[in-house]
Chain A
Amino acid sequence: MCVIMRHRGAQMAPEVALQALIDSCDKREKIGVKYDAENDAREVFNLPTKKRIYEFIAGGGLEAVTPIKVENWRYNPKPIENPALVYSYNFYSGSLYGYLAIIFFQKTGWIMIKSFKKNTQQDPRNLAFKGLAALLGASEEGNKK
């Protein structure tokens, strides 16, 4: 479920903002990555440069993306002249459960990747338990036979 916080200015749907991000990554236009996000992408997702982050996103690397919330960028120095919203998402990449947050500057169309890291929330897929369940299931099948 996506939570939409109170915000200034017009807002686009999280799905539209995500598509804008994918387009910007594809064209390498009006897109940037915050220092910490670049380090996390390198460390966690094995994406060592901005170029590889953009290629990954433009190539459909973000799987099963779900929006979390939309809110005003609280550190915006010019909230009136240059309104900016933060869109956050959960996503998967293989076995990793990730968290993505982007700042969308409404006037300029610039997008800054604010966070690109491992999700601290519990993975709803519960892969470890699924593996265990599969093992237990197989064992029960074996016992029945």
Chain B
Amino acid sequence: MNKTCPVCGGVDLTKETREQVIPLEFGRDITIEATVYACPDCGMEGDFFGDNEHKIESVLEEAQKKFAAMIIDGLSEQNISMAYFERAMSLPVRTLARWKRGEVTASASALLKTVKTYPWILEVAEKRFEHTFAVERMIKAAMDEMGTALQGYLHRNGLEASPVVVSSGNTGFVGMAVRPSTKEIITKPITFNKETVKTS
């Protein structure tokens, strides 16, 4: 029996299958075969009868279990033990083991993803989310990230950097002196600040 368009009552609904991308966390999207109805009378397109709902929910549930196991497995690589995680977050013992087995809720999944993205949040939790410590730890994490990014940039461009500290009275300045790396100078002349550094 032909299904009717719930919008205009048209009886000539067409049904087709399309590839549909379901965006998931950490860029691990999944593509499903989605059913799409189209009404030639009113031009409306959609999953009018909820054919895809169950399929998408199943994909999300599976992904949630998979991510939980993946994140918990990855904790050991960051030197984070399950016992430490549970103690810092005030979770009952063996909670992570249950999550890893697939007994994971949406809120548990959200916590795991937060810790994976910001592992230092465990240190903040351990200090009972004390504000000053939390802010300082966040700044340290940001500076570490900046340092890593800067190191990568310098390396790619054959440069080296040294910290420079200038202080006078109560005022201080912390900066960075950048120069061509020693290795580069020995092997070839480098153009830097529009001047050629001559090798000796």
Interface set of A (CB-CB < 8 Å, partner B): 32-36, 38-39, 42-43, 46, 48-51, 75-78, 82, 103, 105, 110, 112
Enumerate B1-48 residues with CB–CB distance to A below 8 Å.
6-10, 20, 22-23, 36, 41-48
Whether A49 lies near B6 (C-beta < 8 A) is no
User: What B residues does A110 contact at CB under 8 A?
Assistant: 6-7
Minimum C-beta distance from B9 to chain A (A): 7
Q: A50, B44: Cβ atoms under 8 Å?
A: no
Given that A34-B45, A35-B36 are known contacts, is A78 also in contact with B8, CB under 8 Å in the complex? yes
Query: B residues engaging A (CB < 8 A)?
Result: 6-10, 20, 22-23, 36, 41-48, 50, 52-53, 56-57, 60
Query: Complex Cα distance A34/B5, Å?
Result: 12
Q: Which residues of B have CB within 8 Å of A50?
A: 47, 50, 53
Give chain B residues whose Cβ lies under 8 Å from the Cβ of A36: 45
Which single residue of chain A is at the shortest CB-CB distance from B36? A35
Chain A: minimal CB distance from B110 (Å): 12
* A38, A46, A82: the one within 8 Å of B47 (CB): A38
Least Cβ distance of A52 to chain B in Å?
Answer: 9
B121 CB to nearest A CB, Å: 20
Complex-state Cα separation, A82 to B5, whole angstroms: 13
* Inter-chain contacts of A46 with B (CB < 8 A): 23
Contact indicator B42/A76 (Cβ below 8 Å): yes
Q: Can you identify 12 A-B contacts, CB atoms within 8 angstroms?
A: A35-B36, A42-B22, A42-B23, A43-B23, A48-B22, A48-B56, A49-B56, A50-B53, A51-B57, A76-B42, A77-B10, A78-B41
* Contact between chains at B23 and A103 (CB < 8 Å): no
A49 to B46, Cβ gap below 8 A?
no
- Output the nearest chain B residue to A51 by Cβ-Cβ distance: B53
Shortest Cβ distance from A103 into chain B, in angstroms? 7
**Closest approach, in angstroms, between the C-beta of B66 and any C-beta of chain A?**
16
If A49-B56, A77-B41 touch, whether A33 touches B46 (CB-CB below 8 Å) is yes
Beta-carbon nearest neighbor of B37 in chain A: A35
Residues of A within 8 A of B50 (CB): 50
Contacts of B60 in A (CB 8 A): 48
Chain A residue nearest to B52 in the complex (CB): A49
Give the residue of A39, A51, A105 whose beta carbon is less than 8 angstroms from that of B7: A105
